[in-house]
Structure 1
Amino acid sequence: MTDPARNTLPLPDYDHLPIGGLESRVRSLSADEVADLLAYERSHADRLPVTELLTARLDQLRSGAEPTSGNPGALRPEQNSGRAGSPVSPATSPQPFSPPPHGTPDQRGKPKADRT
C-alpha cells in the first residue's frame, strides 16, 4: 500500500483527531479509505489502539459490512460550540483572604502586651 499524502486523507485533520471519536468517524468510510488511513497511521504515528481500530473496521468491511452513518466531517470535541473558557467567574470565586500578621485564622497570636 502507498503512503497517502496528509492532504488526501478521507478525514480532515486526521492527525489531530482524538482516538475516542475516531471510531464513529471511520464508520462512514469505504474499505479503500480505511486502508488509506491505516497505511498512513502505520507509516507515521503507528499508535497501537488506532491501528487495531482501523484493522478491525477494515476486516468488517471486507467481510461484507457496509459503511454506516458515521460523520467524517463532524466537529471534534475540542471544537464544540458550547461554552468555552474557564468556569470561574466572579460569582464562583472565593472572597479575598489576607492571613493575619501572626498565627493562623483559627489560632490567633497573642498581643505583645500579654507576653511575660
Structure 2
Amino acid sequence: MAESGRSTLPLPDYDHLPIGGLESRVRSLNAEEVEVLLTYEHEHADRLAVNELLSHRLDQLRSGARPTSGDPSALRPEQGGHRAGSPVTPATSPQPFGPPPHGTPDQRGKPKGDRT
C-alpha cells in the first residue's frame, strides 16, 4: 500500500472535504486509493462516519463494484471560487439605530423629567 502522507492522498484537500462531498467523490476511486484514505483517516482524524463510509465503499469495490465518475457537483474546496467570511455588504446591512429609550446596561436611560 502507498505511504499514507497528505501529499500522496488520491483526493486533493481531503482533510477539508465535508462528508457529503467525500461520499460522492470516493465513488471515482479504486480499492487501493480507498485503502490509502482509510489508513490516513485511522492515523489522523479517525472520524467514525468517514471510517464507515470508506469501509463500506471498500467492501463494494472488493465485491465487484467499479469506480464511477462520482458526482461532479460535489463540493470541491480545492477549486477555490468560494467566498469566505460574511456575505453582508454595506448595501445589505441594516440602517444604524440608537439605543432604546430605556437605555442599555452600560448607558442608562435619561429621566423623562417632571411629569405633573
TM bucket (normalised to shorter chain) is 0.7 to 0.9
1:15-63 deviation per Cα after TM superposition (whole angstroms, max 9, x unaligned): 2222221011110000111111111111222111001000000000111
Identity of aligned residues (%): 73
* Cα distance, 1:4–1:71 mapped onto 2, change above 3 Å: farther
Question: What is the root-mean-square deviation of aligned Cα atoms in Å?
Answer: 3.1
Tell me which stretches of 4 or more aligned residues in structure 1 moved more than 6 Å.
Answer: none
**Stretches of structure 2 lacking an aligned partner (at least 5 in a row):** 104-109
Distance 1:16 1:24 in 2: 14
**Counterparts in 2 of 1:26-105, with a 5 A limit?**
26-70=26-70, 76-77=76-77, 81=81, 85-99=85-99, 103=102
> Tell me, which stretches of 5 or more residues in structure 1 are unaligned?
none
Query: Does the residue aligned with 2:28 lie in a helix, a strand or coil?
Result: coil
TM-score by length of 1: 0.72
TM-score by length of 2: 0.72
